[in-house]
Amino acid sequence: MTILPPSSRDPAPAGEAREADCSVTVTGTLDGAAVEWKLPEEVPVAIHFNSVPYAVMMATPADLEDFAIGFALSEGLIAHASHVANVLAFPSGDGFTADVAIPEDNFIRERMVSRSLEGRVGCGLCGIAEMADAIRMPGGKLPHRPLDPAAVARAFEALPRFQPMNAVNRTVHAAAWCASDGRILLAREDVGRHNALDKLIGAMARAGQSPDGGFVLMSSRCSFELVQKCALAGISALATVSAPTALAHRLAREAGLSLAALSKQGVMIFDGEMNGHP
């Protein structure tokens, strides 16, 4: 069996972004006038491995094959996308199920954590039952990939053109894979920043896009879970719209992952030691 082909919802060329197909329209008032607003869907997505339930995440129901594969990679459950035999996403109850088939020899079961409840939007840790499972960084350091402030700024300027869903609802996060010069090559959106990153990681894997030489750009703050997901997926540079938390900064330095963020003065590269408590 083979992995399903990449989604037809790849970002359109600059200036040709399409309206996403998973928004609903509501009516409200603005300054006394009736207006319409499109809202993104937020539904439970059950992730199964070999038809066995593993986690339920609240997510936007788009690019679910990318989501499932990216989740497996960013959780460290597989070492490479080629280790996935098949993935199938289908409606299930009030949401969807994404079932990933992985040969037993390729399943890294020691990376699995015990989850006792669903994962809410914006939370990368919900459902994890043991504190020791919260931080699960890979061993060793990533190849050093310095970030060019001009390239990061160029990517941030282009990002809205790769956000068709956000263009109509101004609600969802985006994660984009960028070449070293700031050109956006792939992008994915979701109401949850962790989900958007998982979708991007899966899309990159399915498109045969190597994590070498580029960087991830995100429309969110930099929490440690994003650093952890990038590190486990072999991505060694991450730029976010706001500064990292102290834990994210510390873990990024330990993993050799380069960080950048927007500031009032421009793009800041985080390459120095922290002062204060470790």
The pLDDT tens digits for 105-122 are 999 988 787 554 455 544
pLDDT of 125? 46
**Mean pLDDT confidence for 230-245:** 94
From the candidates 123, 126, 222, 230, give the one annotated as an active-site residue. 123
The yes-or-no verdict on residue 7 having pLDDT over 80 is: no
Q: Is 126 a catalytic residue?
A: no
* pLDDT above 90 as % of the chain: 63
Q: Domain 149-270 is in which class?
A: alpha beta
Mean of the pLDDT values across residues 71-94? 93
Residue 36 is predicted with a pLDDT of 86
Residue 40: the pLDDT is 87
- Its pTM stands at 0.85
Mean pLDDT, the chain, whole residue set: 84
Instruction: Specify the CATH number of the domain 43-133.
Output: 3.10.20.10
Classify burial at 221, counting beta carbons within 10 Å of its beta carbon; exposed 0-12, middle 13-18, buried 19 or more: middle
Residue 277's pLDDT band (cuts 50, 70, 90): very low
What pLDDT band is residue 2 in, cutting at 50, 70 and 90?
very low
Percent of the chain with pLDDT over 70: 80
Answer yes or no: is pLDDT of 50 > 80: yes
Torsion sign over Cα 266, 170, 59, 44 = positive
Confidence grade of residue 135 (pLDDT, cut at 50, 70, 90): low
Locate the domains of the chain by residue range.
Answer: 43-133, 149-270
Q: What is the pLDDT of residue 102?
A: 97
Q: What is the 3-state secondary structure (H, E, C) of the chain?
A: CCCCCCCCCCCCCCCCCCCCCCEEEEEEEECCEEEEEEEECCEEEEEEECCEEEEEEEECCCCHHHHHHHHHHHCCCCCCHHHCCEEEEEEECCEEEEEEECCHHHCCHHHCCCECCCECCCCCCCCECCHHHCCCCCCCCCCCCCCCHHHHHHHHHHHHHHCHHHHHHCCCEEEEEECCCCCEEEEEEECCHHHHHHHHHHHHHHCCCCCCCCEEEECCCECHHHHHHHHHCCCCEEEECCCECHHHHHHHHHHCCEEEEEECCEEEEECCCCCCCC
pLDDT for res 139: 66
CB-based contact 49:100 (threshold 8 Å): yes
